Structure 1
Amino acid sequence: MATALEIDGLDLLDDVETMPLAQLNPARAQRFKDDTIWPVFARLRREDPVHFTPASEFGPYWSITRWADIMAIDVNHEAFSSAQGIALPNLEALAEQERVMGPRRRGNAGFITMDEPEHSKHRKAVTPTVAPANLALLAPLVRERAGQILDALPIGETFDWVDMVSKELTAMTLATLFDFPFEERRKLTYWSDVITNLPGHGPVRDWPHKFEVFGKCFGRFDAIWHERLDSGGGNDLISMLTQNPATREMDREQYHGTVVLLIVGGNDTTRNTISGSLYALNKNPDQYDKLRADPGLIPSMMSETIRWQTPLAHMARTATRDVEVGGKTIHTGDKVVMWYISGNRDETKIDRPDDYVIDRARPREHLSFGFGVHRCVGNRVAEMQLTIIWEEILKRFPDIRVMAEPTRTYSGFVHGYETLPVMIPRRH
């Protein structure tokens, strides 16, 4: 059997346009880090939109790359289950997790890895915290904090936008949603980075380090659970879980999975779109000019960035029965990957899909939040933060310049930025 390294080399060393399709493994994390993924998905949409990879570091899996096929699978939760995990499982990571923690019952990602009717019962427990009425109360605080972050930025010198703005704003907001100690908010960022990275990437040194951090994170949230259970809680995410009959008695594995879901969901999507918007506007200065001339385009720009960036590259499902998709039979038990990042560039659905156009006629027409019962529960939180930060940016700075290419995340799941060097020449 080929090793993961040998499998890795097949599509990294060969020409993507000419190599045999059977060797093409679109989930290779190095391609996402190098930003060389686009020809891979363009070829698959053109030649093999329902593509089977027989061997990879994730095992065998199907890639779904066109909009219509992705949509059909996303809304069919009966035939395509989330219970075995919603991201491609790295086999080495699974083996290490089982060795250290013992066999796991499910993908350890909370209610997003549940099927109906269990899924909706758990999802509804946290919905009030991220509902429009509660977000309307939260928005003035987010605006105040966004202003404080921006006012503290250096002028005329290069700094890391990811660390000083994107991570900071999302950490502040997530700490409030959790009612987590505000002065310790960057622990949430750190835990998210450890959860989503493999050893040697991000802050993760090795497997023992990764699982040690898991233990500290879960231990802290176990303590918070008991605090909220004893106090009766408030309207934060953990209190909602302790108060709802559907989640009050859930086991520790389910709770820890939900914590993982809320930490990663609350961090990565928003912060990578904040970074992605500034990067995209710098790569497309005509669009930056449009935005400065008309700040009313901020909501449209926000949606276009979420499409163009696609902060979560894929969602995975497992077939519960034999299903025909695109003329091919996906068999019971097969792993199926919906590549949102490809569907968002589908030429048959979106006009000029590779272009960044902030005043599109239908800017919210994207796949990034998913569809069906698993549509992103926190999408309004993300949109609120993105809208506010850009409203405050345009009030203060006539220009923010990207000084060098970003370093990107080593992941085929989280499509993001590790660093983005920028400089602000002056204030208004």
Structure 2
Amino acid sequence: MNVLGQVKTSVVDPVRSRVEQVFPIDVLVKAAHAYNRTRRLVDKSERSPIFVERPIPDGPDIALADIDMSNPFLYRQGQWESHFKRLRDESPVHFQDKGPFGPFWSVTRYEDILAMDKNHQVFSAEPSIIIGKFPAGFDIKMFIAMDPPKHDAQRAAVQGVVAPKNLKELEGLIRSRVQEVLDGLPVGEPFNWVDRVSIELTGRMLATLLDYPYELRRELTVISDLASGVPAATGGTSDLDEVFTSCIPILRRVMHLWGDKKARLAAGEEPGYDLISLLLADESTKDMMERRPMEFLGNFLLLVIGGNDTTRNSMSGGVYALNKFPDEFAKLKANPKLIPNMVSEIIRWQTPLAYMARRAKEDTVVGGQQIKKGEKLLMWYASGNRDERHFDSPEKLIIDRKNARNHIAFGFGVHRCMGNRLAELQLRILWEELLERFDDIKVLEEPEIVQSTFVRGYSKLMVELTKRQA
């Protein structure tokens, strides 16, 4: 740690901690917003980078040194596969020293990514798991960007929300909501699958996990998109002022929920399995809202984003993939028992979150490359899941692929996605209910892809349904 870092830790952080214990979280967010706007006015380095979309050449047609995996238009233009293949073949641990997000290493082969993800002793998730830095005032803490033991304690506090017992109880509720949404879809008419199905179902699930007002569930997906689309962090398009402004009413509702549940617990009521109840019931997090409110905000956003992006974009990606590979759709309809394996294959094929970032805690070696202490590395899950060394014909969706469950879209090791089983459950139920109702889900045009280095997602997927014949 440098001298400035030591000063921040010894002086600034304790002051910030005391301030957080005095003011409620909505006031703190307002103050952070004012601080951010001031910093942007006086310090050019705090302003979000401006991304201009230009045609991206194929991977083989560009100099190796000029490959820029931080370009947020790679997915939209469909060039990510050729660029990652070039790196896997010629420079599997590739250093990029120029770009809007600063220097970093791209780790692109399956085995190297797996080895890194297992080794949290050498590769730190702190201070952030995204390519850029969070804007000033928005550099909130979340357990996915913490190392053990603090990571383990906070994760354990909320793990129960997706524990097997809770999932079993949720299965009936998930199925009834999927049935309700699917029964309300138009047949033989074009509609946007992303909005009517993927966003709607994930919003309903998030409201349940957080015990958030059900009628306001779309607020959760909106704040998730805004927070994960900050240009300085992911190359997205969300407006930072809108992020701060949108947080306020949501946080006030969450503060009310926290106070209400805390009073009921004190009166002897058994805790529920929603996020807030679990935090209140755990000794290490029971006072988080009062003593570490911005840390609470970080973990709240983490669980909202985690519960939104993976499931939602796999719901859309699966429909798109089965249209690209119609023989696989025919195979599925002939044998619905393939659904569980297909769910894993869809998640591998889509890889909704493209990477996770790490920092080297010491000088080390990755894939034969010398890595210096403090350097940033990106584990490109999107590339590892298309690595020909591990998956045959990885660009294809093969619903009965033998090693589909070996995908790394959920990460690995201590940071493996906490909600992976819930995501799989939602997707399994969705496809079971779809096959009960429809003979075909026809994609009418190429989908609209979100601008991001981080999220491999869809904003629009126009489809038309054909009802299943009795």
Q: Contact between 1:4 and 1:57, CA under 8 Å: does it hold in 2? A: no
Q: Contact between 1:318 and 1:334, CA under 8 Å: does it hold in 2? A: yes
Partner letter of residue 322 of structure 2? Answer: L
Matched, 1:357 2:389: no
Equivalent in the alignment of 2:5:
none
| Inter-CA distance 109–369: structure 2 relative to 1 (3 Å threshold) | farther
Per-residue deviation, 1:40 = 0.6
Equivalent in the alignment of 2:103:
60
Equivalent in the alignment of 2:427:
386
Q: Contact between 1:204 and 1:210, CA under 8 Å: does it hold in 2? A: no
Residue correspondence of structure 1 range 111-122 to structure 2 within 5 A: 111-122=143-154
C-alpha offsets along residues 197-223 of structure 1, whole Å, 9 cap, x if unaligned? Answer: 246999966332222123333333233
| Inter-CA distance 120–26: structure 2 relative to 1 (3 Å threshold) | same
Equivalent in the alignment of 1:134:
166
Equivalent in the alignment of 1:314:
355
| Inter-CA distance 7–329: structure 2 relative to 1 (3 Å threshold) | farther
Matched, 1:208 2:241: yes
Equivalent in the alignment of 1:77:
120
| Inter-CA distance 229–202: structure 2 relative to 1 (3 Å threshold) | farther
Per-residue deviation, 1:144 = 0.7
In 2, Cα distance between the equivalents of 1:190 and 1:383? 23
Residue correspondence of structure 1 range 225-240 to structure 2 within 5 A: 225-232=258-265, 233-240=271-278
| Inter-CA distance 402–301: structure 2 relative to 1 (3 Å threshold) | same
Equivalent in the alignment of 1:249:
287
Partner letter of residue 404 of structure 2? Answer: P
Per-residue deviation, 1:30 = 0.8
Equivalent in the alignment of 1:181:
213
Secondary structure of the structure 2 residue equivalent to 1:404? coil
Q: Percent identity?
A: 45
Per-residue deviation, 1:288 = 0.1
> Over aligned residue pairs, what C-alpha RMSD do you find?
2.4
Secondary structure of the structure 1 residue equivalent to 2:173? helix
In 1, Cα distance between the equivalents of 2:200 and 2:77? 25
Partner letter of residue 49 of structure 1? Answer: P
Secondary structure of the structure 2 residue equivalent to 1:398? strand
Q: Contact between 1:65 and 1:339, CA under 8 Å: does it hold in 2? A: yes
| Inter-CA distance 327–207: structure 2 relative to 1 (3 Å threshold) | same
Equivalent in the alignment of 1:20:
63
Equivalent in the alignment of 2:132:
89
Alignment gaps of 5+ in structure 2: 1-46, 266-270
Q: Contact between 1:82 and 1:317, CA under 8 Å: does it hold in 2? A: yes
In 2, Cα distance between the equivalents of 1:371 and 1:385? 21
Q: Contact between 1:7 and 1:56, CA under 8 Å: does it hold in 2? A: no
- Larger mean Cα displacement after TM superposition, 67-76 or 25-34: 25-34
Q: Contact between 1:193 and 1:202, CA under 8 Å: does it hold in 2? A: no
| Inter-CA distance 7–272: structure 2 relative to 1 (3 Å threshold) | closer
C-alpha offsets along residues 124-156 of structure 1, whole Å, 9 cap, x if unaligned? Answer: 111112011111011011101100100100011
Per-residue deviation, 1:189 = 1.0
Match of 2:407 among 334, 351, 366: 366
In 1, Cα distance between the equivalents of 2:238 and 2:118? 38
Partner letter of residue 65 of structure 2? Answer: A
Match of 1:47 among 81, 87, 90: 90
TM-score, normalised relative to structure 1:
0.92
Equivalent in the alignment of 2:44:
none
Equivalent in the alignment of 1:123:
155
Alignment gaps of 5+ in structure 1: none
C-alpha offsets along residues 265-315 of structure 1, whole Å, 9 cap, x if unaligned? Answer: 011100100111111111100000000011100001110000011011001
In 2, Cα distance between the equivalents of 1:227 and 1:31? 46
Partner letter of residue 297 of structure 1? Answer: L
| Inter-CA distance 6–140: structure 2 relative to 1 (3 Å threshold) | closer
Equivalent in the alignment of 1:197:
229
Equivalent in the alignment of 2:319:
278
| Inter-CA distance 119–5: structure 2 relative to 1 (3 Å threshold) | closer
In 2, Cα distance between the equivalents of 1:27 and 1:204? 14
| Inter-CA distance 218–363: structure 2 relative to 1 (3 Å threshold) | same
| Inter-CA distance 349–15: structure 2 relative to 1 (3 Å threshold) | closer
Equivalent in the alignment of 1:398:
439
C-alpha offsets along residues 326-372 of structure 1, whole Å, 9 cap, x if unaligned? Answer: 12111111111000000001111111111110011122010001110
In 2, Cα distance between the equivalents of 1:181 and 1:123? 24
Match of 1:261 among 293, 302, 306: 302
Partner letter of residue 246 of structure 1? Answer: S
- Larger mean Cα displacement after TM superposition, 54-63 or 199-208: 199-208
In 2, Cα distance between the equivalents of 1:355 and 1:139? 30
